[in-house]
């Protein structure tokens, strides 16, 4: 029987949750409402006049071939960042878990990249992959690969995917390592006694028991790729070449702050918000069914 918590003052629970409610209202609900409202208006760059245009901003977006291509670019970018960062983090977590008592420096070094700001991470990879002086570009040239992301859109997209994944690996690593440490050793030992090899033990015991952690990181990484990578792309490729790395969140900035078309920028932010909410809902509706708690 669970003990029920009671408060002597009826207003105390409301007082305790008030700061979080205030933060949600100020930094999420109010900006979302303002973006939704502004998406129905056409206004000048200085905000002196505005005209109600109903859904014209949305209709113009879906007539824009460049904006429609950004959906495909964003999908490739989001899936690439999520798959690369989660798979590498899982490999590193499994390696660290095998030597958990002697690998503190290893874990510390892996965590460091998460403390790097996204813009700085973009600058680091900008110099590493620079076709003129970048060491990684030099290695690729030695392997017979001509690297120049200034003119090659596919290479530019690969660059921002690698940079964004590198930034996120540490975060995923911490959760995967915690999940691995929570798995009872007796299950692994019992499987080993039954002559199950390391690979079979991982796929039949370890990975299914990591499904809650994997599902959580899947949601977090997709949201990260869709929303939190603007500064990285801005510092690395600025959406180029020829909009090859112009994902939806970058196009919102480019339309609003560079093009000063605030109505269209607000409409794009609303579409992006609805897209991410729908994507998260689909994951909870269908992907979570495969999670073993």
Q: Which helix (H) or strand (E) holds 51?
A: strand 50-52
2: left (phi over 0), alpha (psi -120 to 50) or beta: beta
Q: What pLDDT shows up at residue 203? A: 86
**pLDDT tens profile 39-87:** 898 877 666 777 888 889 899 889 989 889 999 999 999 999 999 999 9
Whole-number percent of the chain with pLDDT over 90: 27
What global pTM score does this model have? Answer: 0.86
On the question of pLDDT at 164 being above 90, the answer is: yes
Q: How far is CA 185 from CA 98, 177, 207, in A?
A: 12, 14, 14
Read off the pLDDT of each residue in 91-112 and give the average, rounded to a whole number.
Answer: 74
Q: How far is CA 9 from CA 12, 14, 16, 18, in A?
A: 5, 10, 12, 15
Q: What pLDDT shows up at residue 75? A: 92
Query: Nearest to residue 288, comparing CAs of 183, 218, 226?
Result: 218
Read off the pLDDT of each residue in 148-174 and give the average, rounded to a whole number.
Answer: 92
**Coil/strand/helix, residue 233:** helix
On the question of pLDDT at 99 being above 60, the answer is: yes
Read off the pLDDT of each residue in 6-11 and give the average, rounded to a whole number.
Answer: 76
Read off the pLDDT of each residue in 155-173 and give the average, rounded to a whole number.
Answer: 92
Q: What pLDDT shows up at residue 292? A: 67
**pLDDT tens profile 187-238:** 888 888 877 788 888 888 888 888 889 999 999 999 899 888 888 999 899 8
Query: Nearest to residue 266, comparing CAs of 50, 77, 76?
Result: 50
Read off the pLDDT of each residue in 244-260 and give the average, rounded to a whole number.
Answer: 88
Q: What pLDDT shows up at residue 47? A: 65
Q: What pLDDT shows up at residue 103? A: 59
- Strands (E) in the chain, as ranges, are 41-43, 50-52
On the question of pLDDT at 2 being above 70, the answer is: no
Q: What pLDDT shows up at residue 224? A: 92
């Amino acid at each position: 029987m669970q003990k029920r918590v009671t408060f002597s003052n009826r207003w105390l629970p409301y007082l305790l949750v008030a700061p979080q409610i205030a933060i949600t209202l100020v930094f999420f609900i109010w900006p979302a409402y303002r973006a939704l409202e502004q998406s129905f208006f056409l206004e000048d760059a200085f905000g002196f006049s505005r005209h109600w245009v109903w859904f014209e901003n949305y209709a113009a977006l879906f007539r824009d071939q460049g904006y429609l291509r950004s959906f495909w670019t964003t999908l490739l970018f989001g899936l690439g960042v999520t798959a690369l960062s989660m798979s590498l983090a899982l490999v590193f977590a499994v390696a660290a878990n095998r030597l958990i008592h002697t690998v503190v420096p290893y874990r510390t070094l892996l965590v460091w990249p998460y403390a790097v700001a996204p813009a700085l991470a973009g600058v680091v990879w900008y110099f590493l992959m620079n076709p003129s002086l970048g060491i990684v570009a030099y290695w690729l040239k030695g392997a017979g690969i001509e690297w120049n992301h200034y003119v090659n859109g596919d290479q530019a997209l690969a660059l921002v995917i690698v940079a964004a994944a590198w930034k996120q690996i540490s975060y995923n690593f911490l959760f995967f390592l915690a999940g691995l440490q929570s798995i009872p050793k007796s299950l692994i030992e019992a499987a080993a006694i039954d002559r199950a090899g390391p690979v079979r033990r991982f796929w039949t015991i370890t990975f299914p028991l990591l499904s809650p952690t994997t599902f959580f990181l899947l949601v977090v990484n997709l949201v990260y790729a869709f929303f939190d990578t603007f500064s990285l792309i801005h510092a690395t490729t600025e959406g180029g070449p020829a909009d090859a790395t112009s994902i939806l969140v970058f196009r919102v900035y480019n339309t609003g702050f560079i093009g000063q078309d605030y109505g269209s920028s607000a409409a794009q932010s609303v579409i992006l918000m609805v897209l991410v909410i729908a994507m998260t809902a689909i994951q909870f509706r269908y992907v979570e069914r495969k999670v073993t708690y």
